[in-house]
């Protein structure tokens, strides 16, 4: 699985975004050490504050399937028609949610943050989860 393929999986997931209120579609794709890919997209609610982010939906799907680690990379895509096209980075809550799954397996996944450049091509900024969420609180603290 190449980075480009993982990003394409995230973009595919965003096609199912339910975001009628923000009209801001987000896709997420999680890559695991057995090459499995699990995707998510944002799901909003008429009670606006109940929106679920794409990354959180993907982690919930993965953990509901029994996954408890093995997270090696994540791609997060933002929409082409919003903002300045800069790569979208996971919100603070999603960083914490991603950290739970990563820390369970002792990995520090690459987070491929993806936007859309002026020419329509992907703009990608790759950062480690530990850089997005330094000094994280996680399951190891409770063990």
- Which residues lie near ligand THU (CB under 6 A)? 19, 22, 24, 26, 42, 44, 51, 53-55, 90-91, 94
CB 29 within 8 A of CB 6: yes
CB of 114 to ligand THU, least distance (A): 12
Give the nearer residue to ligand THU in terms of CB position, either 49 or 120: 49
Spatial distance between the Cα atoms of 140 and 65, rounded to a whole number of angstroms: 22
User: Toward ligand THU, which CB reaches closer, 31 or 141?
Assistant: 31
CB of 46 to ligand THU, least distance (A): 13
Helix 92-104 with 54-64: angle, nearest 10 deg: 30
**What is the spatial distance between Cα 50 and Cα 56, in angstroms, rounded to a whole number?**
12
Buried b or exposed e, range 6-20, using 16+ CB within 10 angstroms: bbbbbbebbeebebe
**Could you give the residue numbers annotated as active site?**
55
Which is nearer to ligand THU, 109 or 140 (by Cβ)?
109
CB 131, min distance to ligand THU, A: 16
């Amino acid at each position: 699985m190449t980075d480009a393929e993982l990003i394409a999986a995230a973009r595919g997931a965003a096609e199912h975004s339910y975001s009628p209120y923000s009209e801001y579609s987000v896709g997420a794709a999680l890559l695991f050490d057995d090459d499995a890919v699990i995707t998510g997209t944002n799901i909003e609610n008429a009670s606006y504050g109940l929106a679920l982010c794409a990354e959180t939906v993907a982690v919930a799907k993965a953990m509901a399937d029994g996954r408890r680690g093995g997270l090696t990379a994540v791609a997060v895509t933002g929409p082409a028609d919003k903002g300045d096209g800069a790569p979208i980075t996971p919100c603070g809550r999603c960083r914490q949610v991603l950290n739970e799954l990563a820390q369970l397996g002792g990995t520090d996944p690459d987070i491929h943050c993806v936007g859309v450049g002026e020419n329509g091509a992907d703009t990608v900024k790759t950062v480690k989860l530990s850089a997005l969420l330094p000094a994280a609180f996680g399951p190891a603290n409770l063990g």
